[in-house]
């Protein structure tokens, strides 16, 4: 069973000689089985953050930058296992349609009680919140491929974000929806200013340029060991690698198309289903 995720699973297959024969030979790997689509079909959710400075309120920005508040958060968690240290970053979620004719939502908005140019490194020195917009069903496709036969060398990852026109239109629609919510009375009374994209971003072209410059991954890579009944699929509907006996892949890389939401629960489901199928096949 291979369960390395949508980056490492195709990498391990390719290092083992399972993948595109032409590309494997180019990097000095002996071909065991020619499966051209190993590493292809990479999909991911792309996110752009709209940030706002608050007026008259504090946010996690304030708490994290205040030594006393930070200490109290730690004490609260240590004594009660409650408080800000027990919550995820995203506190509110909205699923919406970019176009009314769609059957299901294609945009997810996430509300974060914090803001920062790079929240992983530092938060803003003013109270702020973030409304992040994500396209749920991207049409852009990328790929993952090893650069050499050295297993310690990172593979080449080409996500090709926003290469499809539908993706570009949907990301702009999501940013406009976030902005529309921010100017509604219930939200706007707490907003001092829009920090990003900022008042200078007015046209669709401006918003798209901002998305390209400041957007990023939601860490939902999928699809690089696609499951399917066709000959080009990497694994069959029982997750068995085509042409290789006794090897299955069980992670988000087997998804033919990315799910319309977070990938954690689907990843667990794939693992449970794989275990069930292995047990079924063992008694046949």
Question: Residue 146: exposed, middle, or buried by beta-carbon count in 10 A (0-12, 13-18, 19+)?
Answer: buried
Cβ of 6: how many Cβ atoms within 10 Å? 28
Catalytic residue among 45, 124, 210, 220: 220
Beta-carbon contacts of residue 227 (< 8 Å; ≥ 6 apart):
233, 234, 235, 236, 237, 239, 254, 255, 256
Q: Is 33 a catalytic residue?
A: no
Catalytic residues: 220
């Amino acid at each position: 069973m291979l369960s390395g995720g949508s980056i490492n699973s195709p990498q391990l297959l390719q290092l083992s000689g399972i993948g595109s024969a032409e590309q494997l030979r180019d990097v000095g790997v002996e071909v065991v089985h020619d499966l051209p689509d190993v590493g292809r079909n990479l999909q991911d959710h792309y996110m752009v953050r709209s940030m706002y400075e608050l007026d008259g309120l504090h946010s996690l920005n304030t708490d994290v930058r205040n030594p006393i508040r930070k200490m109290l958060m730690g004490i609260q968690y240590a004594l009660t296992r409650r408080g800000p240290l027990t919550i995820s970053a995203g506190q509110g979620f909205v699923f919406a349609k970019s176009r009314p004719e769609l059957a299901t939502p294609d945009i997810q908005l996430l509300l974060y009680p914090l803001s920062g140019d790079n929240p992983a490194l530092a938060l803003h020195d003013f109270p702020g919140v973030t409304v992040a917009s994500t396209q749920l069903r991207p049409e852009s496709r990328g790929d993952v491929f090893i650069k050499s036969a050295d297993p310690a060398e990172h593979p080449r990852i080409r996500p090709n974000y926003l290469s499809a026109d539908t993706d570009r239109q949907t990301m702009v629609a999501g940013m406009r929806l976030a902005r529309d919510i921010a100017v509604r009375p219930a939200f706007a009374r707490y907003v001092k200013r829009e920090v990003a994209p900022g008042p200078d971003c007015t046209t669709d072209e401006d918003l798209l340029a901002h998305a390209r410059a400041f957007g990023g991954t939601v860490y939902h890579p999928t699809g690089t060991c696609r499951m399917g009944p066709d000959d080009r699929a990497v694994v069959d509907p029982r997750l068995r690698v085509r042409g290789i006996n006794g090897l299955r892949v069980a992670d988000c890389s087997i998804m033919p198309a990315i799910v319309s939401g977070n990938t954690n629960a689907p990843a667990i489901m794939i693992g449970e289903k794989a275990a069930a199928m292995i047990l079924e096949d063992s008694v046949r």
